[in-house]
C-alpha cells in the first residue's frame, strides 16, 4: 500500500518505527497533490520548501524523543479560515486574498507542538458560507469520487484532500454541518465536537455561537487521535470548556446495550431513498452487534433551517463588519471619501453569497424586525435544545443521515440558494444545541457516490458516538475513491 493510502494512525506507527521517514511521507503527499489537485482543487496554498524544512525538523525531534504523539510526523492540511502564522489565510475570499496571519490558531499550535507537518491550506466556501465549496472566490473544489459533482461544504477542500489522498487528515470547521455534510459527500470521516471542546482562537468567525473546529480523516480512529491533540481548555477562548479528554480510549467494537434512537422526522419527504436504505442498513449492522435500536419523534426539525440561518446570518453580519478595507485585506483603488471606501471595498471584496447573508443578518437585527425574527429564532433554538435533551434522556446515540442526498452536480445547488440551504437540514440542529456529531461513510448510491451516516451524542458525549462509529467501521472499512485508485496505479 502506498504512503498516501495509509490511515493517519497507520502512517504514524510506521514513522515512529522508522519504517517511513517524515520527509518521505510529506513528499509522497506533495507528489500526489501535484498529480491530482489540478483536477480536484482541494488546496489554495502550499509552500513546498517550508514543508520539507519542517519535515526535517520533525524527524530530528522524533529521534530525540521530543515528539512522541501517535501522529508525530504525519502530514495534515488546514481549512483556510483557520489562522496559520506565516501562511496565507484567505477564507477563500478576495477581501483577504493576501492576508498572512502573525499568529496561529490554538488548534494549529497544538498540532505543531505534537509534531504535525502542515502541508497547506484547503479551499472552502467563502467565509464558510455555503454547502458545496462553489462560493470560493478562487474556484470550486471537485469531488474525488466524481469530479462532475461537488465535495460539499464549507469544508469541501479539507474533505476532498483527505479523500483523494492529498493529506493524511485535515482540520475543518463546522457551523451548521460544514464538516459532516462534505465528509458524507466525499466518503470520509469527520467529527464536529461539543461546542467549546476545541478552542476557537484563530478561527475566523462566521457564527460565533455555532462555529467549532474538528478533524476530518479516513477513519474514526484517526479522528479520535486528532481530537486528543487539539482539544483543550484555552484561556484565550472564553467559550472553551474544562473537561477530561482521551477520546481514543473510547474506541471499542463492543456496542452491546448501546441505546440508539432513530428520529422518524428525518426519514420523511425529501430524503433520497438510496440514502435512507444505506443509513438503515448501517444501523442494522450495529443492531446485529448488540445495540438496542428504536425509532422516535424528535420534533422541531422543520424549524431548524429558518432558525439556524436567522441566527447564523445575524452573527455573520456582525463578525464580518471588521473587513472594511482599512486595517487589512482588500482595499478598493478608486474611491472618494471614507464612506465610499467602505462601500466599494466590501462590495468588490465579498462574493454574492456572503453579501446575501450579511444583508439578511443585518435585516433580522434591524429595528422593528429584531423581535419578529432574531428573538423568535433564539426561542426556537431553545426548544430544539429541549427536544434533544428529551431524546438523550432515553438514548445514548441518535443515528440519522448526514445529508438528504448524495453529492449534487456542480452548478445545481448554486443556482438555487434555498436548495443549498436545505441540504443542511439534518445537521444544523446539532450546532444550535451545541452537540457533537460524527459522520461516517456507510455505503454508495447507484451512481457510485458515497453516503454518510451521522451519529449524534449529548453534550460531551463524544465517547459514545466514537464508539458507535468505530464499531460500524469494523464492518464497513474505509474505501478510497476511484480517482485515488487511478493515481495509485
252 is catalytic: no
178 is catalytic: yes
Distance CA 395, CA 388 (A): 10
- State the catalytic residue, choosing from 109, 173, 178, 429: 178
Distance CA 472, CA 483 (A): 25
Element (DSSP H or E) covering residue 259 = strand 259-263
String of DSSP letters for 172-234: EE-SSSTTHHHHHHHT-EEEEPPTTSB--TTBPPSSTTT--EEEEESSHHHHHHHHHHHB---
Positive or negative, the CA dihedral 410, 308, 302, 451 is positive
Distance CA 384, CA 340 (A): 42
209 is catalytic: no
Distance CA 437, CA 451 (A): 16
C-alpha cell at 203: 478561527
Distances in whole angstroms, Cα of residue 355 to Cα of each of 44, 76, 135, 321, 364: 22, 32, 11, 11, 14
Distance CA 188, CA 192 (A): 13
- CA atoms in the 13 A half-sphere facing the CB of 336: 0
Cis peptide before 284 (omega within 30 of 0): no
Positive or negative, the CA dihedral 365, 237, 73, 99 is positive
- State the catalytic residue, choosing from 136, 154, 248, 429: 154
With beta carbons less than 8 A apart as the criterion, state whether 79 and 308 touch. no
- State the catalytic residue, choosing from 14, 79, 192, 464: 79
Active centre residues (catalytic): 79, 154, 178
Amino acid at each position: 500500500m502506498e504512503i498516501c493510502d495509509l490511515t493517519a494512525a497507520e502512517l504514524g506507527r510506521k514513522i515512529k518505527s522508522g519504517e517511513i521517514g517524515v520527509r518521505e511521507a510529506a513528499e509522497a503527499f506533495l507528489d500526489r497533490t501535484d498529480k491530482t489537485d489540478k483536477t480536484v482543487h482541494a488546496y489554495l496554498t502550499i509552500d513546498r520548501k517550508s514543508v520539507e524544512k519542517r519535515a526535517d525538523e520533525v524527524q530530528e525531534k522524533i529521534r530525540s524523543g521530543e515528539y512522541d504523539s501517535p501522529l508525530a510526523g504525519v502530514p495534515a492540511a488546514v481549512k483556510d479560515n483557520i489562522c496559520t502564522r506565516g501562511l496565507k489565510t484567505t477564507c477563500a475570499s478576495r477581501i483577504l486574498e493576501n492576508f498572512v496571519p502573525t499568529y496561529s490558531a490554538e488548534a494549529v499550535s497544538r498540532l505543531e507542538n505534537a509534531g504535525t507537518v502542515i502541508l497547506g491550506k484547503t479551499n472552502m466556501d467563502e467565509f464558510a458560507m455555503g454547502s458545496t465549496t462553489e462560493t470560493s472566490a478562487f474556484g470550486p473544489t471537485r469531488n474525488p469520487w466524481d469530479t462532475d459533482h461537488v465535495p460539499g461544504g464549507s469544508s469541501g477542500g479539507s474533505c476532498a484532500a483527505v479523500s483523494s489522498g492529498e493529506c493524511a487528515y485535515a482540520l475543518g470547521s463546522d457551523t451548521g454541518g460544514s464538516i459532516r455534510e462534505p465528509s458524507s459527500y466525499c466518503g470520509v470521516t469527520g467529527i464536529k465536537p461539543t461546542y467549546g471542546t476545541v478552542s476557537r482562537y484563530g478561527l475566523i468567525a462566521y457564527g460565533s455561537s455555532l462555529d467549532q473546529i474538528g478533524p476530518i480523516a479516513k477513519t474514526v480512529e484517526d479522528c479520535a487521535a486528532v481530537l486528543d491533540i487539539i482539544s483543550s481548555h484555552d484561556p484565550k477562548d472564553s467559550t472553551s470548556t474544562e473537561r477530561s479528554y482521551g477520546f481514543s480510549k473510547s474506541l471499542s467494537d463492543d456496542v452491546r446495550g448501546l441505546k440508539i434512537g432513530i428520529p422518524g422526522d428525518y426519514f420523511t419527504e425529501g430524503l433520497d431513498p438510496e440514502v435512507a436504505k444505506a443509513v438503515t442498513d448501517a444501523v442494522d449492522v450495529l443492531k446485529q452487534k448488540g445495540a438496542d435500536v428504536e425509532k422516535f419523534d424528535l420534533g422541531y426539525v422543520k424549524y431548524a433551517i429558518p432558525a439556524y440561518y436567522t441566527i447564523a446570518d445575524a452573527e455573520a453580519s456582525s463578525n464580518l463588519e471588521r473587513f472594511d478595507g482599512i486595517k487589512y485585506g482588500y482595499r478598493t483603488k478608486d474611491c472618494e471619501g471614507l464612506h465610499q471606501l467602505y462601500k466599494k471595498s466590501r462590495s468588490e471584496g465579498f462574493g454574492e453569497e456572503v453579501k446575501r447573508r450579511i444583508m439578511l443578518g443585518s435585516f433580522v437585527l434591524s429595528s422593528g424586525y429584531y423581535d419578529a425574527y432574531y428573538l423568535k429564532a433564539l426561542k426556537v433554538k431553545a426548544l430544539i435544545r429541549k427536544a434533544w435533551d428529551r431524546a438523550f434522556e432515553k438514548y445514548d446515540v441518535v443515528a440519522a443521515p448526514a445529508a438528504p442526498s448524495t453529492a449534487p452536480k456542480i452548478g445545481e445547488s448554486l443556482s438555487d440558494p434555498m436548495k443549498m440551504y436545505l441540504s443542511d437540514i439534518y445537521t444544523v440542529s446539532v450546532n444550535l444545541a451545541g452537540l457533537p456529531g460524527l459522520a461516517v461513510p456507510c455505503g454508495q448510491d447507484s451512481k457510485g457516490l458515497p453516503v454518510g451516516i451521522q451519529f449524534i451524542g449529548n453534550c460531551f458525549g463524544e465517547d459514545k458516538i466514537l464508539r458507535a462509529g468505530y464499531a460500524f467501521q469494523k464492518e464497513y472499512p474505509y474505501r478510497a475513491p476511484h480517482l485515488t485508485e487511478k493515481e495509485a496505479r
